[in-house]
Amino acid sequence: MPSRCQVKGKFVPSISKTIIDGYKCHRLTDKSSGRNLRYSVKLDKYTAKQWLQAHNAVMQSISPEERKNATGRQIRELSEKWLASPKEVKAAAVASGISLNLNAQIEMSLKSVFEECISDFCRPGINSNNIIDKAKRQSRILQEFLEAKNVKLYGQLKREHIAAYPEWRNAKRFDQRIGITSADTVNKELNRLAAVIKYGVKYHGWQERYLLDGIRVKPTTENTKAVRPFEISETKAILAWLYANAEITGNWYLHDMALLAACAGLEAKALSLLTPEWFKLDLGILRVFDKLVSGVVDAKTQNRTRDIPLTATLRKIFERGYVFKRPQKKKGKVAKSATSVKDYARRTFARCEAETGIADVNWHRFRHTCATARLSAGWQLIRVSRMLGHSNVNTTASHYAEYDLSASPAGFEGMIKVYGDFVRWLDEGYFS
């Protein structure tokens, strides 16, 4: 039973352990206003003392009539908002009073809504560790910006604040790199802010003000990272090295994964989530992201789900099955900011670089190699765009225009033939 305290003939609120519907919980009980007001509370984020202080402050701030008729749920919601509010908001509420019908007067701080939104986003089994780490990092950067602008509440956030974010972000590099922050990174962070605002509108009664409409960073040569594809000779040398390494170690996973990336243009996330179910042998296609993938709200590959025709090489990769059975490594720690497939390949790719003399061997260059080889072989831009899962063909054009039918010592027709032969070797002749 809830414990009761009585001071000078009056009951004071108290919190005690109880069982509701078979579950152990804590319940706040208040009989000080002549009625038995009760509601359950969680003592994970706030202590019992903090809950009682918030409850008392709310009860003293509402009118006697509302104090008499308020439900436990209403008081609990107000108390929770009170706990999350800055001191100045609490002081204003005490001075002007609180209305149950206008309880938006106690507005949760942006920081609290950020934490609540990210906590909801990071629920187990919903998103991958890599996506969660990125969301948390974006949240920290955005909160630092808001603190620098002295914006603590959603009502204080203005469009000019958000418009100033790209310039502030360029001056605040968090990765120790030289140069301005990429347009893709800034736009992803702005989308994270939009997601938090959307969360506040849905769950905390914020008014939709369309603050981010039209505020985007346009990609340019200065703010877009250029990734050079492998030359034909480099691609063959890397695959040959991985093949020889696999014969020695017995680990064919990286070899087949690299070949898959070069043939299908899969990004690191797709390689990490690859399953046998993606290979639709009866339909003759590789369906990338066969099911909905959560967390994809801010990537340039919005149309990630796509169908890629199965070539002889892709069918052979499926038959071999090595891409579905990644051997466990006994040593080494997984980097928090990297996807599992990136981290798994890091040391092996480093050895490949050292022994072949080819710099920057990574998964994204295999994807670029796949795209540029096919464009240089005469494939239509729209076909390559769909293969890569780009949301817009202009994205493909802006990234690969300089490689599409570029100058070649073999001449225009010669280059078409050279790259056509290379693509056919990858797709049809690699295992023959």
All residues at 6 or more sequence positions from 136 whose CB lies less than 8 Å from its CB, including other chains: 118, 122
Q: Which CA distances in Å does 291 have to 135, 200, 279, 288?
A: 22, 28, 13, 9
Residue 6's pLDDT is 45
Residue 81's pLDDT is 84
What is the sign, positive or negative, of the torsion defined by CA atoms of 20, 25, 31, 37?
negative
pLDDT higher than threshold 60 for residue 260: yes
Edge-to-edge order in the sheet of strand 285-288: 279-280, 285-288, 306-309
Residue 269's pLDDT is 83
Is residue 21 very low, low, confident or very high in pLDDT (cuts 50, 70, 90)? low
| CATH architecture observed for domain 232-429 | Orthogonal Bundle (1.10)
- Do residues 129 and 337 touch, judged by C-beta distance below 8 A? no
Domains 112-203 and 232-429 share a fold: no
Mean residue pLDDT of the chain comes to: 82
Give the domain ranges of the chain.
5-104, 112-203, 232-429
Q: Name the E strands within 243-377.
A: 279-280, 285-288, 306-309
pLDDT higher than threshold 90 for residue 107: no
Is residue 322 very low, low, confident or very high in pLDDT (cuts 50, 70, 90)? very high
Neighbours of 297 (CB within 10 A): 15
Write out the CATH class of domain 112-203. Answer: mainly alpha
pLDDT higher than threshold 80 for residue 169: yes
pLDDT tens digits, residue range 288-312?
Answer: 987 654 444 434 444 478 999 999 9
Q: Which CA distances in Å does 122 have to 128, 136, 144, 214?
A: 9, 9, 20, 28
What pTM was estimated for this model as a whole? 0.57
Q: Could you give phi then psi for residue 13, rounded to 5 degrees? A: -60, 150
- Average pLDDT (14-23) is 78
Is residue 230 very low, low, confident or very high in pLDDT (cuts 50, 70, 90)? very high
In this structure, of 29-43, 100-114, 137-151, the range with the lowest mean pLDDT score is 100-114
